[in-house]
Chains A and B, each alone.
Chain A
Amino acid sequence: MIAELGLAALWLAAALAALQLAASVLSLRAGEGGETLGGVIRPTAILQGGVAALSFVLLMWLFIRTDLSVKLVAMNSHSAKPMIFKLAGTWGNHEGSMLLWVTVMALAGALIAAIERRLPEATMRATLGAQAFVGLGFYAFLLFSSNPFERLPRPVPEGMGLNPLLQDIGLAFHPPTLYFGYVGLSVAFSFAVGALLTRQVTPDFARAMRPWVLGAWVFLTIGITAGSYWAYYELGWGGWWFWDPVENASLMPWLAATALLHSASVLAARDALRAWTIMLGVIAFSMSMVGTFLVRSGILTSVHAFAVDPERGSFILALLAINIGGALALFGWRAGSIAEGERFALVSREGALVVNNVLLSAILGVVLLGTLYPLVTEAFDVRVSVGPPYFNPVSAIFALPMLAVMALGPLLRWRQDAVRRVRRPALLAAGLAVAGAVIAWLIAGPAGLLPTLGVALAVAVGIASLLPLRGRRLTRTPLPIWGMVLAHLGIAVSLLGMASESAWSQERLAALAPGESAEVGPWRVTLTKVVPVAGPNWTAIEGDMDARYQSGSPIPIAPQARSFWSPSQTTTESALVTRWNGQLYAVIGEAVGDGRWQVRLWWKPLVTLIWIGGLLIALGGVLALIGRVLGDLKRRSVLAKRLRWRGEQPV
């Protein structure tokens, strides 16, 4: 019964989306006379969000109850699974994650309809129409080719289980976080399309769009950070970024959204970069959809590939063609009639932001090219591999100058400024950067070119990121400024971690019998015993070890090699010891005979900074978002007061 209810809710939500789209089109056509029709749009959008959410909650309920008469549950769940992973199983598969996708999309539409008051009414209607249009495509995809509520002819006695790699608390919440980010960008997309339709690309439009982009960007940042940390501790070899197609698929929307965030700031503050901002709004969500397509169609090989199915691929490709193609055609048709906006000098805040936008877009281009390139050569029957040795140096060519500009940009004034005004802070940052690199070499030993430049730039960016606070009263500094400072500082922190990890990590592979020890960096690790351990749906071999930092007291650690039986697969559960200056990473492997066990150890100096930096970036985004929303509320209440004072009705 619940499955049928869920399916009915899904159909109803789709019908509401169709209604929303029709009302929007008709009211825009009727122009000023479309008031009645226009009035339908907001309530419909809100209702659609509610009904879609109901459908998703019902699917979750099926997973919680492990209803094995539903195909999706039988294929992806198991009664012996811990509750948290039953729940996570809802989105740990193709159909469920697509349902989450449309649900988030519908909820975003509902939220716009409920709270957005800044946009002109016509743009608002066009925006909600665009949101409904994109949503309809995904409803059709779900209903016609990926129905999550499909029943089995007869219930099965037991489910097949969830991929054990996904049975991890970090990963349980990683996909939904990323989805909130991907789909949140659909709002920017709809805003861009709406503004193109009504030709109202104004600073107010940018101010209205900015909080939505910020929100999506915060989720993306957290999602990527969490995903990277998960890969780090779960895959068992200490790598934290592999330039895998799926990782790239999440990085590309982030890069586009970052550029969009900054160009929207220029548009909001200075009424410049109108067409460019619109373009980025279209591109950011396009990257989300292209990423989803690449992962779901199985067109690229990836460690993460799931639900590989060419038919679904064709469906998503058709959606891409209609949505992105339509938006880009609209752009080609309309963007020419949007005036270019204000001008500015190269040496100015806008100038720096433009340089960063261009360089961010170039990095996006590099990632896109490197991800798609193997696909291109495959068409000519040549198979090539593009990996870290390509992505790292080539993206660094653009990233390093971008970071340098990022350090100085916030110190420049809007419109026009002089280089000599920022010469002193620039020299200070540069001097400290050189000093930082030299000190790092002295303490930790020589490093390659990229890590050395990374350390130097991290120091420079870190120092420079704090400078905008100079001369301000910290308690009265606006939240968005705090947000910028924290986010930029986060970039520096993360960069320092990356550089340090890649330059000074130490690896030790050993075959130890109980009682023997191995050394890695400043650590000495002793294997005390190897014991079997049983979990709810797995068994494991656990290596009990004592880790000693220099002459410190021993810290017990217990890495495991887990064997799940449904589906049958092994995972490594690495053991980590975190200190302020880095992490010890320990893995227990196979028995190698004569009572010895493989032990893999790494000492990774400052590695945690990578993710701390990521969280700082996200925190910066949150602060900026709060600042913007509070500012908007204050503005609204002032406006309302003023209207009341004049004896009029508030809008």
Chain B
Amino acid sequence: MTKSWRLWLPLAVFAAFLGFTAYQLQQPKDDTIASAMLGKPLPRFALRPAVDGLPGAAQTDFADGKPRLLNIWASWCLPCIAEAPQLKALQEQGVEIVGIAIRDRPEDVARFLAQHGNPYTRLGADDLSEVQFALGSSGVPETFVVDGNGVIRHQHIGDIRAGDVPKLLARLEEAR
């Protein structure tokens, strides 16, 4: 006859597994991959204009004391259409939004802006997702709050809903 407590070990291990998964099952499933760049200065980049009539984007455009939003999007992305009115609303509140269009053609970008409005002051084209990688962004749309010193303060993953507008405004206020 072996020591009896050892025979209970499998049950103990299983109970730990059970408790853990039961807890995990209650947690909201978060599939987003957050950028590890928060609190760090923007990476160096200088992108050509994504569309005629708007200047391109570079990290030197930030760091002038004014906090801004950096919006990663694309004309081929459906949630970006849903987000367009919210960006417009933010722009109307006086927020400056710099856009980066991922893997996009100038004519498609122009069509999108004509159809859904243009909230951007600058719009860079990131044809190879290079700046997206440098920012630690893993999809479109994503929006970064960048403070007046050019430091990334906050990342919003997914499209901006109406309820997110005041939150982003508060973040921008904090970053001032």
Contact = CB atoms under 8 A, between A and B. Distances in A.
Interface of A: 275, 279, 282-283, 286, 290, 293, 297-299, 301, 310, 313-314, 317, 320-321, 324-325, 328-329, 331-332, 335-337, 339-340, 372, 375-376, 378-379, 383
Given A325-B14, A375-B20, 11 more contacts: A275-B2, A286-B14, A299-B24, A324-B14, A325-B11, A328-B10, A331-B10, A331-B11, A336-B1, A336-B2, A372-B17
B1 to A, nearest CB: 6
Contact of B18 (A310, A313, A325, A383): A325
B97 to A, nearest CB: 29
Contacts of B15: 325
Contacts of B23: 379
Contacts of A376: 20
Nearest to B26: A310
B128 interface: no
Interface centre among A297, A329, A332, A337 (most CB of B within 10 A): A332
13 contacts: A275-B2, A275-B7, A293-B21, A299-B24, A301-B31, A310-B29, A313-B25, A317-B25, A329-B11, A332-B4, A332-B8, A332-B10, A340-B2
Main secondary structure of the interface of B (DSSP, over half): helix
A46 to B, nearest CB: 33
Interface residues of B, number: 22
A336 B20 contact: no
Contacts of B10: 279, 282-283, 328, 331-332
Contacts of A328: 10-11, 14
Nearest to B4: A336
A299 B25 contact: yes
A331 B7 contact: yes
Contacts of B24: 299, 375, 378-379
A337 B14 contact: no
B122 to A, nearest CB: 30
Contact of A317 (B2, B22, B29): B22
Main secondary structure of the interface of A (DSSP, over half): helix
Nearest to B23: A379
Nearest to A328: B11
Contacts of A275: 2, 7
B7 A336 contact: yes
A170 B31 CA distance: 31
A217 to B, nearest CB: 22
Contacts of B114: none
Given A325-B18, A340-B2, A332 B7 contact: yes
Contacts of A290: 17
A281 B15 CA distance: 18
Nearest to A297: B25
A297 B18 CA distance: 13
A340 B7 CA distance: 13
A275 B29 CA distance: 39
Interface in B57-114: none
Contacts of B2: 275, 336, 340
Given A325-B14, A379-B20, A337 B1 contact: yes
B157 to A, nearest CB: 13
Contacts of B25: 297, 299, 310, 313-314, 317
Contacts of B1: 336-337, 339
Interface in B34-78: none
A317 B21 CA distance: 8
A335 B18 contact: no
10 nearest A-B residue pairs (beta carbon)? A332-B8, A328-B11, A332-B7, A335-B7, A336-B4, A328-B10, A313-B25, A332-B11, A321-B18, A328-B14
A298 B18 contact: no
Contacts of B14: 286, 324-325, 328
A192 to B, nearest CB: 12
